[in-house]
Structure 1
């Protein structure tokens, strides 16, 4: 279905709860040992944005946003305030934050990504919804002010000329999460003081 390049209201998403989810199958053997298998190669994020509603106007904004997306039909951007930068939450994105490729003298297109590392293990997350104007690119540690463009709808950086062999291509950026509503109904409550609430507003990350 169509994806709407519009971001869910920031003042409401700031109070959301949620984060990454993985799917793991665990089989307990007769011996008491376990066998574990990852059903998903990549994580998927889920959120509940009902916690961010503080006023009746917030509720009205969510209802309008929901109706404009036709419920679960169309995807949209969501700012995960706990994880929206190529660097640490307290930092400012820098050109050398994330390695997105190595030049070979031929390839001109590279997908931006974020690496999560703990000890010797790491996982690379493909970033498809960079924030317009936030992306910075470097070749061999030298920032490139021109000579490249990024597609904000896919996160693919395209260079006018292919980076030379062995040159590290790095990037710094802010990004959104592509999500959709995970329900076709909103359970709205409006009390006598005209204060509104919605029991749950689940969002789920769209993976392609």
Structure 2
């Protein structure tokens, strides 16, 4: 499987529907009680971008994008407008947004992550497709303008010199979701005014 490092058109993705899904097995006992087990350790996102098509040119852009990806064959970037920052969607990214880890004097590589918390519970998501030039880094609360690099195809930050033991590594960033089309066919309908529409254009997150 290959990945095309291009983003689905922003003006269409802005109107998409979708979000995270999880898979849970639920067994109902004879007593009426339940036993629940998580089949997946991590969530996976699904979207339908057909809701973002408003003009004939949007329809053409989707068809061209679909053909260039060979349907389900190649993955690509997708901007989830409801969840594309290390902070809240309405906030501005800062170098203090997310804790990546703590230095030990040896490790130079740290994975970008985003934590989702509610009450005492939280879940950590690995971010593999940060947006170029959006990443900001801090060591011990002090922003670092140099001495590090980030791989925008993996989300791994690498420091030239390992952070000292006990020094916190934090980051802020924007990111895309790696997805692919979840169908090898586009069902296009042309109306009398030739505006056109597609009933459904499903996308699914790629997890590796």
Q: TM-score range by the shorter chain?
A: over 0.9
Secondary structure of 1:11 counterpart: helix
**2: CA distance, partners of 1:112 / 1:102:** 13
- The alignment partner of 2:35 has SS state of strand
Correspondences of 1:54-73 after superposition (within 5 Å) = 54-73=54-73
Aligned-partner Cα distance in 1 for 2:110–2:162: 10
Aligned twin of 1:207: 207
CA shift at 1:101, angstroms? 1.1
1:174 match = 174
2:31 is equivalent to residue 31 of structure 1: yes
Instruction: State yes or no: 1:156 paired with 2:151.
Output: no
Question: Could you tell me which residue of structure 2 aligns to residue 17 of structure 1?
Answer: 17
Residue deviations 1:84-110 (CA, integer Å, cap 9, x gap): 000011100110100011100000001
Secondary structure at the counterpart of residue 204 of structure 2:
strand
Give every structure 1 segment of 4 or more consecutive aligned residues whose post-TM-superposition deviation is greater than 6 Å.
none
Aligned pair 1:103/2:103, yes or no?
yes
1:127 matches 2:104: no
Q: Secondary structure at the match of 1:152?
A: coil
Q: Aligned partners of 1:132 and 1:70: how far apart in 2?
A: 25
Please tell me the root mean square deviation across aligned C-alpha atoms, in Å.
0.4
Q: Residues of 2 paired with 1:58 and 1:190: CA distance?
A: 13
What SS does structure 1 have at the residue aligned with 2:89?
coil
Residue 80 of structure 1, CA deviation: 0.1
What is the number of equivalent residue pairs in this alignment?
208
Superposition deviation, residue 196 in structure 1 = 1.1
